[in-house]
Amino acid sequence: MRITAVETFLVPPRWLFVKISTDEGIAGWGEAVVEGRADTVRAAVGELAELLIGQPVMRIEDHWQVMTKSSFYRFGAVFSSAVAGLDQALWDIQGKALGVPVHVLLGGPVRDRIRVYCWVGGDEPSEVAEQIRAQVEAGFTAVKMNASGRMSRIATVAEIDGVVQRVAAAREVLGADRDVAVDFHGRASVGNVRRIAPLLEPLQPLFIEEPTLPENSHLLREVTTATTIPVATGERLFNRQEFLPALQAGIAVAQPDLSHAGGISEVRRIASLAETFDVQLAPHCPLGPLTLAASLQVGFASPNHVIQEQSIGIHYNQGAEVLDHVLNREVFRFVDGYVERPLGPGLGVEIDEASVRRADQVGHRWRTPWWRYPDGSFAEW
């Protein structure tokens, strides 16, 4: 079976789908995007497609090696995301051709269901509590929230109190049997996080996420040694080499993104590397259905997988939803905060191709928001 075509589709609200076709009529789907740079990744997928057309599908590892190493300049967000979408699609084809889910090809399932969490918004404690209450009623046992909005380089007392009050409101609703994760989103300086994290310890978050920017991984040790709260990071790290310093710095949760960190092939290796540091896997996934499907396939085959992010209903998705182009929506049915192991071949998700092609005619130009401080200087979103 050989690859005959590679197509890309700009799918609102901010996704880029990839389809690989073969001479035997089996097609595979993947999701390759850097949020806010979808057109750039689309161009990168087109360049990588030159390496795949006419090649046998089943040599997935060789394709990964060639795609990542045949260029003198390697990795980075755009490049790794393009590879990720193509890699997902290749695994999807292989699973479909053999009639088994991808997690079977990765060694078989180590669990029967995966715990998932959902996002909640809200700027005020009362708003946070209201949104979390709704998710608890829907059966979720874990939620994630932003620690803050724009934060001063050296936070004010009011900013710090605001973080604590919002997390306290979450804990009050969740009780002792449910969890809240707190995402700093790289918005806070290390100094701010070192002040805030100890104040959150009595509220016992599941983890604090991205307490420093990815380019400042050399500072992670200052955070992990300043708090007993598990520290999570990794959505903006793209390979094992970039994860290694974070693991050595003492993080507790690794969060590679299946559409950014080289796809199923590389995230599976990142998971194994993390396991040697007794670090848990919680893949980043505020994207579309193919990223979620790929994340679950890795999760069901990874012993150290702990929880899965998913973005159904997330506030980023305006005018479109995760399941809009999915025919077998039951595979993403959440019961009591868990999703059951998918049994369908490949990624286990059936894409409505006609719907995707219609969406591509509309396309999107989603851009990452960015902020400024009162003095006019740039502030992290």
Catalytic residue among 63, 103, 185, 260: 185
Identify the sign of the CA torsion 357, 362, 363, 369. negative
Q: Is 36 helix (H, G, I), strand (E, B) or coil?
A: coil
Max Cα distance, the chain (Å): 64
Query: Dihedral of CA 375/223/210/269: which sign?
Result: positive
Q: Which of 50, 46, 52 has its CA nearest to residue 78?
A: 46
CB 64 within 8 A of CB 83: yes
CA angle 132, 138, 139 (to 5 degrees): 95
63 catalytic? Reply is no
Please state the length of the chain.
381
The helix (H) or strand (E) run that includes residue 371 is strand 371-372
Bond preceding residue 13 cis, omega within 30 of 0: yes
Instruction: Establish whether 284 is a catalytic residue.
Output: yes
Amino acid identity of 239?
N
Which one is catalytic: 284, 305, 325, 364? 284
**DSSP H helices in the chain:** 38-49, 60-69, 77-98, 102-105, 125-137, 157-174, 190-200, 220-224, 240-248, 263-275, 289-301, 353-362
For residue 347, what is the DSSP state?
Answer: T
Say which residue the tokens 């690859």 belong to.
3
Whether 273 and 251 have beta carbons less than 8 Å apart is answered as no
What secondary structure, in 3-state letters, does 49-83 show? HCCCCCCECCCHHHHHHHHHHCCCCCCCHHHHHHH
Active-site residues, by number, are 185, 284
